[in-house]
Amino acid sequence: MRRLIGLNITGGLALLFASVSGGAAFATTPAEFISAYVGQLGQQQALKARIPLDLRNPAAPQLKECTAGSIALSANLHKDGEALKAMSLTGDLAKMVPTLVNLYESKAVQNLQYGAICSTMSQSPAGSSAYLGAAGAAPAVLAHIAATDRVIFQGMPLIAASLLPPGSDIRNPKTHLTITKAQRLKLVSDIDKAFDTGKHPLPSEIGPNSDIILGSAAILRAFLSDRKGVDEH
């Protein structure tokens, strides 16, 4: 898993520092944020699994599930964005959260668009202009969703770095975390629960065809597993 931490984390990360967090309802530590964040990503991934991505000759039940699943995921993304906005954070996390919220909202809109495509196809005769037009629009929407996921993926190393002392090199596994061993192991457990890794192991390597969100979780899990807490020797 250590290979995952060696990824290039510089490209595209300027997006994650586009704005500064505003007022919020309660104080949130980096560990609490990460616990909540991985829970959100895990739930989003579970909802995503309901949505068929190949609309070539889909059956009616697939289109129905695609419509319902896309709407459910869109609503969940909006809810998760509101939860992020309610957090009071400092440092780099405070700068990243507004952009994460924007990414969630963008994905929410994109998933509604995909659901509309599936709905149109389900209500149109196969081969009709409406059916073919909707099917033809699907790849562009899916590409936008994938591009958004890539930005989320690129931000995960910076989120992980919030658990290190300021100015630390994230690539140095000898640097101790600012959390305890118990907190570190809890975050690993949170990831395992959120993504049901007992049944669905996270990828050990990330390639061109890897699921980006699963890759994000794998990066964070490897990071937490490779390092020691502030009370460990």
Give the residue extent of every domain in the chain. 2-13+24-226
Say yes or no to pLDDT of 12 above 90. no
The structure's pTM equals: 0.85
* Distance from C-alpha of 141 to C-alpha of 108, rounded to nearest angstrom: 12
* Distance from C-alpha of 227 to C-alpha of 219, rounded to nearest angstrom: 13
Strands (E), the chain: 26-27, 87-88
- Residue pair 146/103 in contact (Cβ under 8 Å)? The answer is no
Chain segment 40-94, per-residue pLDDT in tens: 999 999 999 999 999 999 999 999 999 999 999 999 999 999 999 999 999 899 9
Residue type for position 204: S
Q: What is the mean pLDDT of the chain?
A: 89
- Residue pair 201/137 in contact (Cβ under 8 Å)? The answer is no
Q: What is the pLDDT of residue 1?
A: 38
